[in-house]
Amino acid sequence: RYSEPMDLPDGGLIKARTIMDGETGPVEERRLGIDPSGWEIISVSSFQSRWGLAENAFDGDPFTAWFTSRRRGDDTAPGHPHHLALDMGRIIQINGFTYLPPQDSRISGSMIETCRFEISEDGKNWNIVQKCEFGNIMNDPSRRLVIFDNVQSSRYFRLTSLKGRENNPYAGAAEIEIISQIDTK
């Protein structure tokens, strides 16, 4: 029974079920990423000033988002690839990541359909960990969980968008989380 907030700075797996009038509901689970406090942006391909700031991608608010530059009335917006690179401040054992696409329908064109996740020892030279494709992202803009085949150790990571929803030239993220713990129980 949860009656108080839980402190999970290293993330974890939460399992819960409702019990009402003696009837138990199904077990729901949610894998949480590590606490992003202290993360710093080391580079970003572009962002929309004021509303689409890069730090929105890890602020814990699913209703804000990072999204790339758009020029009103101009079809020359910078195209893919787009990226967001972060310094987590310490070396982390990375088992995977989550991607929540922008939830605001006004910027749904910035949903990432295909991307790659990269790590770096110095924040400059990058190694590809995994390429990802988020199927049916337009009709199901839910949080996507990507678990790597092998644990990666890194202080720096970069998410690079290779293709946007319906081939739009934009990219965006409401939330990006780093998964550090995999509990198989």
Lowest-pLDDT range, 41-50, 54-63, 114-123?
41-50
Phi, psi of 109 (to 5 degrees): -65, -10
What pLDDT does 123 receive? 94
Cα(81)–Cα(74) distance, integer angstroms: 19
What are 91-118's pLDDT values in tens digits? Answer: 999 999 999 999 887 766 788 999 999 9
What pLDDT does 5 receive? 79
Query: CA nearest 84: which of 49, 36, 116?
Result: 116
Parse the chain into domains and list their residue ranges. Answer: 35-179
Q: What is the DSSP string of 139-150?
A: T----EEEEEEE
pLDDT (mean) for 24-51: 85
The distance of Cα 17 from the centroid of its chain, to the nearest Å, equals 26
The answer to whether residue 88 scores a pLDDT higher than 90 is yes
Token pair, residue 171, equals 């990219």
CATH number for the domain running over 35-179: 2.60.120.260
Confidence of residue 75 (pLDDT cuts 50, 70, 90): low
What pLDDT does 71 receive? 63
Q: How many CB atoms lie within 10 A of CB 116?
A: 17
What pLDDT does 3 receive? 77
The answer to whether residue 185 scores a pLDDT higher than 50 is no
What pLDDT does 184 receive? 47
